Structure 1
């Protein structure tokens, strides 16, 4: 029987690449996103792939819409094997030109959107003691970086959330995974006005994720050299880290 997978943010970027990867593997994919036009284009472009694709225009910030979407799956006796909570956005932020609304939007989409999905998924998965939930965060959540305070804060929150919930969910038979990509070439990263080291394609990122979710590691982080660099920043003492942060600012 084909694996059934729900992917949020499936109409572009990393989500789009994941949808295609799983369809090529013959899976039954449920792709959700806000943009109906992009979802229609996704359906046309994936028409000849061997898996089965169903799309729905659902905003992760719309809690009622998420509940309605999931209730429809349950009413159809759809048993999801895997959920990839990938939907997110990016807005460059500045401490000097501080704009509270940008931070609030980032938190509502990147963190609140995940909570809205977990609200329905975990109730179902813990009830039947099965299923895998993967949450897409970022290596940007490892430590605060200049110009990414709003985005990085949401990703740090997701990392902490996953680490906190892992043990409890494991006891309930639910496999929680954390995905921390580095720079991935997507419409979101096109907003960046600085060099992005170790930038990889969305297709390459999707291949890392597909392989990682079939493995056993809690954290799926890539590319490896960039991950280790960012993890090193996380453990550096403040007296070493902040001068490096200042140099980052001068190079922007």
Structure 2
């Protein structure tokens, strides 16, 4: 119980699992959250993570009551975390002309945005009283500029960046850190569905190592890898008259139910 504790959502695959393993190797106890809990248990066993070092919480991040209950359960079973990583997210292409894709957008925001705030909510008061703790929001470079066919995802990640920036100002007087990590392309089951080039693609364990170091250093905002940060800044600087035709023909993210 003396070891620090990290609470991670979306821990059944990809970035969530890679971060969990990195924190574990650094001596942290783990509170792992996902809808698919069986995958977490088998993964933890395969990685040799000792059974007394982790707890698994079943929750749907898109349902505020579900993820907030998991946070409260974590406090009761393992104590107040030192680090909370709101990592769970979804990424689906959308076409505003398609009625069903409006529901896709609503689900994206429910998971990526409302779900993030609901993930943090159970821990904020305790961290403020303790005057210590770190809240980590996983954004994306896709939140820096809108991409055709990615309206739901880009908008949700732009909102993540702004939300974490607002929260950072609120928490600063109380000694609670808020860290925004914006990944570029990371090799995960999510990105393997993409139908376009992914420059500077990183392995999940490499990303997790850099993200852990940024969190431990108390970084406020970090794009990983840094090369994607430079690309994003350049795109942000482009005038709309240049940006719009440049991106117009770019392959789009696959929509839900669309043929590969």
TM-score, normalising length from structure 1? 0.92
Q: Is the 8 A contact 1:39 1:57 kept in 2?
A: no
1:132 equivalent in structure 2: 134
Distance 2:52 2:188 in 1: 24
2:47 equivalent in structure 1: 46
Distance 2:251 2:19 in 1: 33
Superposed displacement of residue 50, structure 1: 9.9
- Alignment gaps of 5+ in structure 1: none
Cα-to-partner distance string for 1:76-132 (whole Å, 9 max, x where unaligned): 461311011100111122345462111111111111110211221222222322100
Q: Is the 8 A contact 1:23 1:50 kept in 2?
A: no
1:7 equivalent in structure 2: 8
1:220 equivalent in structure 2: 222
The root-mean-square deviation of aligned C-alpha atoms, in Å, is: 2.1
Q: 1:61 to 1:246 in 2, by over 3 A?
A: closer
Superposed displacement of residue 55, structure 1: 1.2
1:210 corresponds to 2:234: no
What number of residue pairs does the alignment pair up? Answer: 251
Distance 1:166 1:10 in 2: 24
2:157 equivalent in structure 1: 155
Superposed displacement of residue 7, structure 1: 0.6
Superposed displacement of residue 219, structure 1: 0.8
5 Å-filtered alignment, 1:165-204, equals 165-204=167-206
2:258 equivalent in structure 1: none
2:70 equivalent in structure 1: 69
TM-score, normalising length from structure 2? 0.89
Distance 1:55 1:27 in 2: 15
Q: 1:196 to 1:51 in 2, by over 3 A?
A: farther
Superposed displacement of residue 239, structure 1: 1.5
Distance 2:49 2:75 in 1: 27
Distance 1:2 1:91 in 2: 38
1:121 equivalent in structure 2: 123
- What SS is found at the alignment partner of 2:250? helix
Q: Is the 8 A contact 1:2 1:26 kept in 2?
A: yes
Q: 1:135 to 1:111 in 2, by over 3 A?
A: same
Per mean C-alpha deviation after superposition, the further-off stretch among 52-61 and 73-82 is 73-82
Q: Is the 8 A contact 2:62 2:110 kept in 1?
A: yes
- Alignment gaps of 5+ in structure 2: 255-260
Q: Is the 8 A contact 1:24 1:50 kept in 2?
A: no
Residue among 116, 129, 146 paired with 2:148: 146
Per mean C-alpha deviation after superposition, the further-off stretch among 198-207 and 228-237 is 228-237
Distance 1:232 1:50 in 2: 46
- What SS is found at the alignment partner of 1:248? coil
Moved beyond 4 Å, runs of 4+: 48-51, 95-98
